[in-house]
Structure 1
Amino acid sequence: MKFVAFERTLQGTGASRRLRTAGKVPGIVYGAGEPAQIELDHNALFFALKKEAFHSSILEMELGGQTQKVLLRDFQMHPWKQIVLHVDFQRVDERTRIKKKVPLHFINEENSPAIKTDKLLINHVATELEIECLAAQLPEHITVDLGTLEKGQSLHVNDLKLDKNVKVVLRGKKNPVIAAVTVPVVEEEVIAAPVVAAPAKGKAKKNEKQNQK
């Protein structure tokens, strides 16, 4: 994906506020040299952030007539408004080793024996994984094939088919679950017992007198 950025000369809270008023977003590019202060068109960036590939792939940034390869590292949103406040990018090249979270794309779920035969459910325990690899080998997503899952089974990180140069960052977890077969929860309908109204006091006394007779 490609996008255009412009050099930003003015810095500080006041300058950033004026940029946002003018429909721009302040940002920074760091790594492989001196950090560069940049600004981007807000609307273009806002819609780019809605695309999965913008978060998990190497981007081509045009800045000052030159194209640089960068990776989105962070962005800040307004607490309640649909406004991007700031964005961070990292310069990368083929030799840059990076750690990045990438989304998981699940396939063949409907063809698994757990779904097709046993009418069970498959719970997606994780929706993304943090991986470590060279920037040139960064996948946009990781495909997870659920087509063989059966009743009582689960799929773990070690079951994934990854490129030999891509390493999953486990952070102390040995072999976390990615997806697991679960039994649907059946909600039982509770039928309330009929409520018998107590007789009125006057009627109760009348019945008591008749019984005494």
Structure 2
Amino acid sequence: MSDFNLNASVRHDLGKGASRRLRRADLSIPAIIYGGEKTPQSIAIEKAPFYKAIEDESFFASVITLNVEGKQEQVVVRDLQRHPYKPLVTHADFLRVDATHELTLHVPLHVVGEDASKAIKDEDGELHQLASDVEISCLPKDLPEYLEVDISELELGTTLHLSDLTVPAGVTIVALTHGEDHDNAILNITKAKVMAEQTDEEEEAEAPEEKAADSEDESEGEDESKGDTE
């Protein structure tokens, strides 16, 4: 679990106007901390360290320490509100973490072993990653930065599901607690040429129909020409 520490100050000037003024100053990001037994607290986070932190995908799957005017809060990111077309974060929501209670988060899914995969290198296989993250539940101390799946030994035509993932002790994949119907596929390896051949076959199957349609159109055109002549 990465060690992220950010400095913040308490916001006493609240409301939309205050948030706009804070963003215009361009030094900090308006945010809120909520959850647990404490009341929600409006804060302002130092902008430069915050923007650097969110470039790291593990930031979103880590317990973060917020230093709020000398007091520390253990939190996780719950939501980031972004500008509709500018690369700016307009507000951040942080959820307090209780060491004794499980939390639910989406963590990245990392696929490794593609370079060593015989199915891809030697059998013209093509990897299709169907999920980029996985929702898990665990205590804060057990929170992984990501889940990893090794495809180096997978055979061509293999499909992996959530139940095929190996997770650390204390970690539960949320979807699997809802039954087998939620055991979604996360990736597969198919033969690239098969897809191309299927496309060619579909085009060939459509060709006679198109020719028949063209013949009908030509016949109708000839009939109309004869009718005009008569």
TM over 0.5: yes
Task: Letter of the 2:12 partner, please give it.
Answer: T
Is contact 1:93-1:136 (8 Å) kept? no
CA distance in 2, matches of 1:49, 1:103: 14
**TM-score scaled by length of structure 1:** 0.83
**Aligned partner of 1:27 among 16, 25, 31:** 31
Deviations 1:104-132 (A, max 9, x none): 11111222231132121111111100011
Q: Distance in 2 between matches of 1:164 and 1:147?
A: 24
The 3-state SS of whatever aligns with 1:93 is coil
Determine whether 1:161 maps to 2:161. Answer: no
Q: Does residue 1:180 correspond to 2:220, yes or no?
A: no
* Runs of at least 5 residues in structure 1 that lack an aligned partner in the other structure: 189-213
Higher percent of residues as helix: 2
Q: Is the 8 A contact 2:6 2:46 kept in 1?
A: no
2:29 maps to amino acid: V
Superposition pairs for residues 30-109 of structure 1, below 5 Å? 30-32=34-36, 33-109=38-114
Query: Does the Cα contact within 8 Å between 2:142 and 2:169 map onto a contact in 1?
Result: no
**TM-score if structure 2 supplies the norm length?**
0.77
Deviation at 1:77, TM superposition (A): 0.7
Q: After alignment, is 173-182 or 68-77 more displaced? A: 173-182
- Count of residues in Structure 1 that have an aligned counterpart in Structure 2: 189
Counterpart in the other structure of 2:6: 3
Output one character per residue of 1:125-170: Cα deviation in whole Å (capped at 9) or x when no partner: 1110001111111100001111121111111111111124211111
Residues 15-51 of structure 1, C-alpha deviations (whole Å, 9 max, x = no match): 1111111112111001121111100123332232121
5+ residue gaps, structure 2, are: 201-230
| Partner in structure 1 of residue 209 of structure 2 | none
Alpha-carbon offset, residue 79 of structure 1: 0.4
CA distance in 1, matches of 2:84, 2:52: 18
Determine which structure has more spread, i.e. the larger CA radius of gyration: 1
